Amino acid sequence: MAQKVQVITYSDLTGEEGASTVTLSFSGSSYEIDLTGKEQDALTAVLQPYIASGRRVSGRNGRTTGRRAAKRSKTTDGPDSRDVRAWAAKNGLKVSDRGRIPAGIMERYVSEN
């Protein structure tokens, strides 16, 4: 079985299609925002005086520990893994609590739901 997955990213400000993710840090917190090229240019113009006067920081800052859980995109196609695991357990199928769900179980879930 072949699949084609297409992820379309929209601007968090305007909802316009074709955005890309920008990562920012401010006052010890990190943020991500999806912006179009035009919006990124506007943000850069506003921040440029501060960037020019600031110091670049490289490497990890040590404030985070462990791994971050992957964020599930609103535009991701396919069933939620929690639903598939619950369905599998209810139907007597063995699936680990973590990691990838076997393709056969995923296909069966999709065909039966």
What are the extents of the domains in the chain? 7-56, 76-113
What CATH number labels 76-113? 4.10.320.10
CATH numeric code, 7-56: 3.30.60.230
Pick from 5, 33, 2: nearest CA to 19: 33
Question: Along the 113 residues of the chain, how does pLDDT read in single tens digits?
Answer: 889 998 899 999 999 999 999 999 988 899 999 999 999 999 999 999 998 999 888 766 555 555 555 555 444 567 888 889 999 999 898 888 888 888 888 888 988 88
